[in-house]
Chains A and B, each alone.
Chain A
Amino acid sequence: MSLLPAVVALGDDALVLGQRLSEWCGKAPLLEEEMAMANTALDFLGRARLYYGYANTLGGRDEDGYTFHRDAREYTNLLLFELPGADFAAATARQFLVDAFDELHSAELANSADATLADIGAKVHKEATYHRCHSAAWMVRLGDGTDESRRRMQQALEDVWGYRQELFVNAPAEQPLVEQGILPDRAELRAAWQEAVATTLAEATLTVPAASWAVKGGRQGIHTEHLGVMLAELQHLSRSHPGAKW
């Protein structure tokens, strides 16, 4: 099984969340947090470039080919990463779930049998450790803040909770790579993730939502409707001038 689609998928996760985070530029609740969100966005976009760059050396397209010249059905990011997160509670809840996962996933990826992925994993691990620290602090602040902030955070968690399941599924194409020690086994990360999330939520006086629903489809290109709209904005300029250099 080829490594290429698995690398592109990791790039897609990073790209769409980097785009979502960059949408907060000029909109954060305080100027200091504005700076923090932009730094996080730059880390995610940087990650996307590393994965796409690696994909390119494996015979894939270049980074702009992946970013600007695929339709939503060809994107293979997990749904959690593409959700709008348009208010600060939703953005924070999603970010915390992602960061808690990335911290665990990147630690394993740093041990990959593939040297390039191991390097990327080590780099991502440093970023993700800081991001998780930052987003967990926000969960606690908002969960254990005012009645309104607790209500908003609990609602945001409920709304995003069903999207967590995909994080722990190895796509069929990824399974052989897991067995070769190239990709982390996502299923094995679940327990540690649940514990880390539960610890922070307890501190935040928030309730772990009931695990009754799950949405999936990202790795198969079956997305939410939000992705197409995001891509329309992201891609229109590049696509309006075929072949142009910028």
Chain B
Amino acid sequence: MPLFEVFVRSRRGLDHQHVGSLRADDAEMALQYAREIYTRRREGISIWVVRSADITASQEEDAPAFFEPAADKPYRDATYYELPKEVKNL
């Protein structure tokens, strides 16, 4: 039985978040089981289920090439810029 990943939106205004996985044979069944398993205590108002096999994940060995180039661009962060104390609302 294929593995599905479950994403739950806990309330309006928030993103869906990954909460766990389950086994089901099709998406409809996965959606029902996600409801039974991951929203027993009113944890959600919306659910996504995705076949785990359909997820393409970045790999550990790619991490330097993927993510380190972003590390030398601190000028993308607001904290990079020093402002005179008297400047407000910027």
Contact = CB atoms under 8 A, between A and B. Distances in A.
Asked if the two chains touch in their complex, CB atoms less than 8 Å apart, one says yes
Given A39-B36, A39-B40, A32 B28 contact: no
B40 A32 contact: no
A137 B28 CA distance: 9
Q: How large is the interface on A (under 10, 10 to 19, 20 to 34, 35 or more residues)?
A: 10 to 19
B23 A30 contact: yes
B28 A35 contact: no
Interface residues of B, number: 12
A36 B39 CA distance: 11
A137 B29 CA distance: 8
A241 to B, nearest CB: 32
Contacts of B25: 141
Interface centre among B1, B24, B37, by most chain A C-beta atoms within 10 angstroms, is B37
Contacts of B33: 32-33, 35-36
B22 interface: yes
B17 interface: no
Interface in B29-59: 29, 32-33, 36-37, 40
Interface centre among B24, B29, B40, by most chain A C-beta atoms within 10 angstroms, is B29
Interface string A75-115: 00000000000000000000000000000000000000000
Given A137-B28, A137-B29, A36 B36 contact: yes
B40 A36 contact: no
B52 to A, nearest CB: 15
Contacts of B24: 32
B36 A35 contact: yes
B44 to A, nearest CB: 14
B22 to A, nearest CB: 6
Nearest to A40: B36
Contacts of A39: 36, 40
Interface of A: 30, 32-33, 35-36, 39, 133-134, 137, 141
Given A30-B23, A35-B36, A137-B29, 9 more contacts: A32-B23, A32-B33, A32-B36, A33-B33, A39-B40, A133-B32, A137-B28, A137-B32, A141-B29
25 contacts: A30-B1, A30-B23, A32-B22, A32-B23, A32-B24, A32-B33, A32-B36, A32-B37, A33-B33, A35-B33, A35-B36, A35-B37, A35-B40, A36-B32, A36-B33, A36-B36, A39-B36, A39-B40, A133-B32, A134-B32, A137-B28, A137-B29, A137-B32, A141-B25, A141-B29
Which are the 5 A-B pairs with shortest beta-carbon distances? A32-B33, A36-B36, A35-B36, A35-B37, A39-B36
Interface of B: 1, 22-25, 28-29, 32-33, 36-37, 40
